[in-house]
């Protein structure tokens, strides 16, 4: 294993990686660091196609030392689909969709769960707890079951029902709360605090290895494009782990010498009903203030106070990117238009990225001829209410 230590991006303090860790003493999430010079000497991009088509093909850049602890359901290596017809309609001729809906548990959350659970298992964790908007809880409950670990999942009542069912099916201790993910987070903190160390907090960015699973989206996009980077990557941003992870992956690949110095411009997409990152980015702030009365049909990005706000804003500014808020009405319109044109039913969070792409191209921020990659973070089938069938005629 090439993992060397954990590092705090806020205060610079280093932490050992050989024991379970949560936040730095300063309150910041921790980032996993590797001996990249040794990685570069051990593996080259030409070797990856000879390996299995899952995220573990990048094992030198992942934090699990002993393969016996790898907990996998075949996650990763999702397709990068060209959407030429719809792209032409919105003026983005080279539009591509990274479809995470085909991953185990139906969302990209399986990436973080696979690596996070594998490393927790290796470090001796027996039970995890976490707040969730739905998909992450379903994924972590599923992978915890596969690893023989216990899981307590706290989820808002308004989360997609299918995610609730997935948790129960996986044998998790599911607890529902009439509130938002921030309210669920407070319940988890109390539960972990009262456990005397028996329960590990696996909440978003409260442990460092979910991010390592999510960063593999960045490696896959670049490998699938022949080790070339796109011009723009558009990502639906709630907790922002995937966006932070893609940014981290791009910097690792650049240091490894696998890509050039030119990096994609990153776009964080939020709903007008919950847009703390968009507001902070526009104001030039380093931190995001909590969003009051958060609500959106794109439930996965209903995160009023993301713990990784500093890291998200840094990724946007370092990449010359931007942040965009879109309305629920536009999200649903673009979701249906894309499905009718391209035959792929996106999740509402993925559709939000299409709306952002359309707006950014209309405003000239996305230029003609640029290659744009949109992240569809989950299967549209998990959100049946996004398509109204009430007016479909019933034949006699």
Q: Is the pLDDT of residue 132 over 90?
A: yes
List the chain domain ranges.
Answer: 80-106+214-385
Phi, psi dihedrals of residue 2, rounded to the nearest 5°:
-105, 0
- Reported as a pLDDT band with limits 50, 70 and 90, residue 244 is very high
Instruction: Give the lowest-confidence range in 74-78, 157-161, 206-210, 345-349.
Output: 157-161
First to last CA, the chain: 65
Average pLDDT over residues 59-76: 97
Can you give the pLDDT at residue 72? 98
Proportion of the chain above pLDDT 70, given as a percent: 100
Predicted local confidence at residue 163, as pLDDT: 94
pLDDT in tens, 3-53: 999 999 999 999 999 999 999 999 999 999 999 999 999 999 999 999 999
* 212 pLDDT above the threshold of 90: yes
Q: Which of 140, 99, 356, 108 is nearest to 243 (CA)?
A: 108
Cα separation of 268 and 288, whole Å?
Answer: 13
From residue 285, give the alpha-carbon distance in Å to each of 271, 280, 306, 309: 19, 5, 14, 10
Q: Which residues touch 344 (CB under 8 Å, ≥6 apart)?
A: 81, 83, 97, 99, 338, 376, 380
pLDDT band at 235 (very low <50, low <70, confident <90, very high): very high
Residue 245 pLDDT > 90, yes or no?
yes
Query: Other CB atoms closer than 10 Å to residue 183's CB: what's the count?
Result: 14
DSSP 364: T
Q: Is the pLDDT of residue 390 over 90?
A: no
Tens of pLDDT, residue by residue over 358-382, are 999 999 999 999 999 999 999 999 9
Residue 154's DSSP bridge partners are 131, 175
Phi, psi of 279 (to 5 degrees): -65, -45
- Assign domain 80-106+214-385 to a CATH class: alpha beta
Across the chain, mean pLDDT equals 96
Span 131-155, average pLDDT: 96
**Phi (first) and psi of residue 271, to 5 degrees:** -90, 150
What's the pLDDT score for residue 232?
98
* Tens digits of residue pLDDT in 154-181: 999 988 899 999 999 999 999 999 998 9
CB 358 within 8 A of CB 220: no
Tokens representing residue 106 in the block? 């139906």
Alpha helices of 61-160 — where are they, by DSSP H?
84-90, 109-122, 135-147
The pLDDT > 90 percentage for the chain reads: 96
């Amino acid at each position: 294993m090439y993992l060397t230590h954990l590092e705090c991006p806020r205060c610079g303090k280093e932490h050992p990686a050989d024991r379970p860790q949560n936040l730095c003493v300063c309150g910041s999430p921790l980032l996993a660091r590797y001996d990249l010079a040794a990685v570069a000497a051990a593996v080259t991009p030409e070797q990856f196609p000879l390996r299995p088509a899952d995220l573990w093909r990048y094992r030198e850049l992942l934090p699990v030392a002993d393969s016996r602890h790898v907990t996998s359901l075949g996650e990763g290596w999702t397709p990068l689909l060209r959407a030429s017809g719809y792209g032409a309609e919105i003026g983005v001729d080279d539009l591509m969709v990274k479809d995470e809906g085909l991953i185990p548990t139906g969302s990209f959350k399986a990436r973080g769960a696979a690596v996070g659970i594998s490393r927790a298992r290796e470090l001796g964790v027996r039970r995890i707890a976490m707040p969730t908007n739905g998909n992450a809880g379903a994924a972590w409950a599923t992978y915890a079951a596969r690893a023989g670990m216990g899981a307590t999942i706290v989820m808002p009542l308004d989360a997609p029902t299918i995610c609730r069912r997935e948790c129960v099916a996986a044998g998790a201790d599911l607890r529902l709360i009439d509130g938002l993910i921030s309210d669920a987070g407070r319940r988890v903190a109390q539960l972990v605090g009262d456990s005397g160390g028996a329960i590990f907090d696996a909440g978003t960015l409260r442990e460092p290895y979910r991010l390592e699973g999510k960063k593999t989206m960045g490696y896959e996009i670049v490998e699938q494009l022949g080790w070339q980077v796109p011009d723009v990557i558009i990502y639906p941003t709630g907790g922002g782990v995937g966006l932070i992870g893609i940014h981290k992956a791009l910097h690792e690949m650049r240091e490894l010498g696998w890509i050039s110095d030119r990096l994609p411009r990153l776009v964080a997409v939020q709903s007008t009903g919950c847009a703390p990152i968009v507001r902070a980015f526009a104001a030039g702030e380093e931190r995001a203030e909590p969003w009051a009365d958060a609500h959106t049909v794109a439930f996965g990005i209903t995160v009023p106070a993301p713990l990784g706000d500093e890291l998200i804003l840094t990724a946007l500014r370092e990449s010359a990117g931007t942040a965009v808020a879109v309305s629920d009405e536009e999200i649903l319109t673009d979701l249906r238009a894309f499905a009718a044109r391209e035959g792929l039913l996106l999740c509402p969070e993925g559709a939000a990225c299409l709306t952002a792409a359309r707006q950014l191209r209309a405003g000239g921020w996305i230029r003609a001829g640029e290659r744009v990659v949109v992240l569809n973070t989950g299967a549209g089938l998990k959100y049946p209410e996004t398509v109204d069938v009430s007016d479909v005629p019933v034949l006699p």
